[in-house]
Amino acid sequence: MQELAGKHIVLGLSGGIACYKSAELTRRLQDAGASVQVVMSEAATHFITPVTMQALSGKPVYTSQWDARMDNNMAHIDLTRGAAAILIAPASADLIAKLAHGQCDDLLTTLCLARDCALVVAPAMNRQMWAHPATQRNIAQLRADGIHVLGPAAGDQACGEVGLGRMLEPHDLVESMIDFFQPKPLRGQQVLVTAGPTFEAIDPVRGITNLSSGKMGYAIARAAREAGAEVILVSGPTALAAPMGVTRIDVRSARDMQAAVMAQVPTAQIFIAVAAVADWRIANPSTSKLKKEGGGGAPALEFVQNPDILATVAALPNRPYCVGFAAETDNLDANAQSKRQRKNVPLLVGNIAQDALGADDNALILYDDAGVTTLERADKQTLARQLIAAIVVRLQGAGQ
């Protein structure tokens, strides 16, 4: 996915060991479709060379405000014209202090002051430098000035200490930039999403589950966060990492998921039930491993129905806007429409299970009172953004 296609980003490097990450960041930004123009402070050149950054970006690297390669000798003006954003990664404590006070004594700080595009900084410094009151005052001033701050993260530092101050990893910075450019129609809203399979124990080592990977639900959680929402993701067992900025609550069984959802739903404005919840569970799971006795038959298992989480939420007196999912193996239209009416939800999303479970792409059909809308096959993140946009349109039409 080239989610930054058409975006021109000026990548600024200030002095710090995290400059080594900027090489990978350049490539990842390009892989996402962005064009990258690198500008380095003099201090940054002590950690990584302009030659390296030029080879990776495919463009000349600028380090001096006196660079005569521009016809008008005004690199501090020309380099940001037409840029979608300036991203400074790493942003040192020194660079942050200069930006906070409007000091421009080199090319990088001068073009930040002369810009007509967004400015994003990714701090990187020792944990004590980050925690220092002066740095915190400067960060607060940057935010007050409309400058976007990404991170920092906590972890091992080059000095051998551990704490807050690490620059975000390149993949996190790219995801944050993709997020940054998305419209924010759900700002101020809370979205509750369920995702993944559930697991119903037969004994301590066996259980009933399904092939849901959780990819669609996680993509929807990320898309809702990109749209500005506060997102809570209630997830069954998956190997996926939670999208950045999303609060994940891990659960195992359908009843665990129901309890987590009911605890969170009072503050949610939108509930999207993507999880593949087991319809049945074992009435009395064994507390010890069931043994295969010689010549014996299979154990007799008694099933009971699990709670219907979506129907329960949809029946609340002050329910959120509810979106259900129907993964069917056949008769999709009939089964999906029946499920929507039975559970009394305004929007139901259908797909063919065998085409979607575990896959990276999908095709979705939206069912509501207005009729049927098809979202053509695409990667799941693209479909998730399309679905969130469709939900926004329906909420706006309903005056919510």
**Annotated active-site residue in 104, 117, 159, 322:** 159
Q: By three-state DSSP, how is residue 327 classified? A: strand
- Cα angle vertex 159, ends 153, 160, to 5°? 85
On the CB side of 198, CA atoms within 13 Å amount to 26
293 exposure class (CB count in 10 Å sphere: 0-12, 13-18, 19+): exposed
By the 8 A CB rule, do 110 and 95 touch?
Answer: no
- Gap between the Cα atoms of 226 and 210, Å rounded: 29
Q: How far is CA 312 from CA 250, 258, 316, in A?
A: 20, 9, 7
Q: By three-state DSSP, how is residue 308 classified? A: coil
Structure tokens at 14: 């200030």
Catalytic annotation on 159?
yes
Q: Are strands 270-273 and 190-195 parallel, antiparallel or unpaired?
A: parallel
Cα–chain center distance at 99: 28
Q: Is the peptide bond before 285 cis (omega within 30 degrees of 0)?
A: no
Total Cβ atoms within 10 A of residue 295: 5
Q: How far is CA 365 from CA 200, 335, 349, 381, 392, in A?
A: 29, 12, 6, 16, 16
Q: Are strands 206-208 and 303-305 parallel, antiparallel or unpaired?
A: unpaired
Residues 6+ apart with CB under 8 A from 149: 120, 121, 122, 123, 139, 142, 143
Per-state percent for the chain, helix, strand, coil, to nearest 5:
35, 25, 40
- Gap between the Cα atoms of 48 and 54, Å rounded: 11
Q: Which helix (H) or strand (E) covers residue 185, if one does?
A: none
Q: Which residues are catalytic?
A: 159
